[in-house]
Every structure is written in C-alpha cells, then in structure tokens.
C-alpha cells in the first residue's frame, strides 16, 4: 500500500460510521485477496502468503465483531460465510489456484455491496440480500458439506 493510500484510508476511517468501518474491512479483505491472487500468478509465494495471512487477520477481526454483537441469524450466517471463506483460502493455497481466490473476492465484494446499501438506506428492506447469505449454504463451499455447529456463540 502506498503512502497516499494509507493516508486516504486513515482519513476515511477517522470519520466513518460503523457501516463505513465494516465496508473498509471488506475493501481491505478484497484487496488482500486480489494481491494474493496476483502473487500466485507471479509465483511469488512469499507475497502470496503475506497477503493471505493479512486477509486471515481481517477475517478474524470481522469474526471478533460477531462475537461482541447480539448474535442472531445474521451473525450465524456471517460466521458460516467467514468460515467458508477461510476454508476456500486454504484450498486456494493448497491447489495454487488464483481462480479460487478470485471467486472469494467476488463474494466478499457482494457482501460489501450489501453493507454499503444498508449504510445508504434508512430501511434494510430496501436492500436485496442474496439467498446464499440468507441461508447457511455458501456457494464457495462443498455442496455435500453440512454446516457444523460451533461451541462459541455470536
């Protein structure tokens, strides 16, 4: 990240709402995944690992926010999404597949768009939430894999 990008992000985060901060995390996550995919294509394993590790830290931060929240269906759905995202990232690294990372970028940006719509609207009913976010199924996951229950709660 260039010094200009860093200064821009610091300024943007300084005045951001809760949704704005969440959107910034999704932007960071998508950028990390993009740089990891690019590094994989360039056979730069060190950079791919660095970017993937940072993406995992961002996911952990997003999950931490779920743990501190009130829980509910949305928190459970997001927990499934984050778990599936992490699993796909590991699969992408094992298979050396930038395409898998790019699929995850598309999903991250789709969820980001939903958060952005919620930020801009006064009513959450004005935003259409994709069916895969409303259910426990995740398009990046295996169709035969059932959602496993976790011992922690959001």
Contacts of 44 (CB under 8 A, 6+ apart): none
Interior CA angle at 54 toward 51 and 57, to 5°?
155
Block mean pLDDT (10 aa), the chain, length 154? 54 63 95 98 97 97 85 90 97 97 97 89 51 53 41 41
- Pick the closest to residue 97 from 39, 29, 40, 31 (CA basis): 40
Assigned CATH topology for domain 3-134? 1.20.120
Identify the pLDDT of residue 107: 97
pLDDT of residue 133: 55
Q: What is the pLDDT of residue 60?
A: 95
Q: Sketch the domain layout of the chain as residue ranges.
A: 3-134
């Amino acid at each position: 990240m260039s010094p200009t990008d860093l200064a821009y992000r610091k300024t943007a985060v300084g005045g951001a709402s809760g949704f704005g901060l969440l959107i910034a995390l999704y932007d960071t996550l998508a950028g990390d995944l993009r740089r990891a995919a690019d590094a994989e294509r360039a056979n730069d394993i060190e950079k791919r690992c660095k970017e993937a590790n940072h993406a995992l830290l961002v996911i952990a931060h997003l999950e931490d926010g779920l743990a501190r929240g009130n829980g509910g269906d949305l928190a459970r759905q997001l927990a499934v999404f984050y778990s599936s995202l992490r699993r796909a990232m590991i699969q992408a690294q094992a298979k050396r597949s930038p395409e898998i990372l790019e699929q995850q970028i598309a999903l991250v940006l789709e969820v980001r768009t939903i958060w952005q719509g919620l930020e801009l609207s006064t009513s959450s009913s004005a935003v259409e939430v994709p069916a895969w976010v409303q259910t426990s199924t995740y398009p990046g996951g295996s169709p035969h894999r059932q959602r496993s229950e976790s011992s922690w709660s959001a």
